[in-house]
Copies of this chain bind each other. A is one copy, B any other.
Amino acid sequence: MHVIIAYDIGVERLHRVYLVMKQYLNWIQNSAFEGDLSLGQLEELRIKVAKVIDEETDSIVVFLVSNPEWIDRKVWGRERGLTESII
């Protein structure tokens, strides 16, 4: 299962969410992660994230695509996320 996650999180929780996401996915952008997870791993991630976020204000959008080959990925501008992190 290929997973793309984009999130808006209060700045005071951003680093904790980043650390949880990083256990499961690759950082690709300031507020986006990507990777391959099983449904079990995704559920683990969801539970860990739920402990960290404020569900009233923070928002995380999760896109799931069963087959990674169905996704074409392009970068406009600079490729990030492989060797750098802003946090």
Contact = CB atoms under 8 A, between A and B. Distances in A.
Interface size class of A (residues with CB under 8 A): 35 or more
Contacts of A65: 65, 70-72
Most chain-B Cβ atoms within 10 A of its Cβ — which of A6, A31, A57? Answer: A6
B78 A59 contact: yes
Copies, count? 2
Contacts of A75: 59-62
B31 A59 contact: no
| Residue of A4, A53, A62, A86 most packed against chain B (CB within 10 A) | A4
Nearest to A64: B72
A23 interface: no
A75 to B, nearest CB: 6
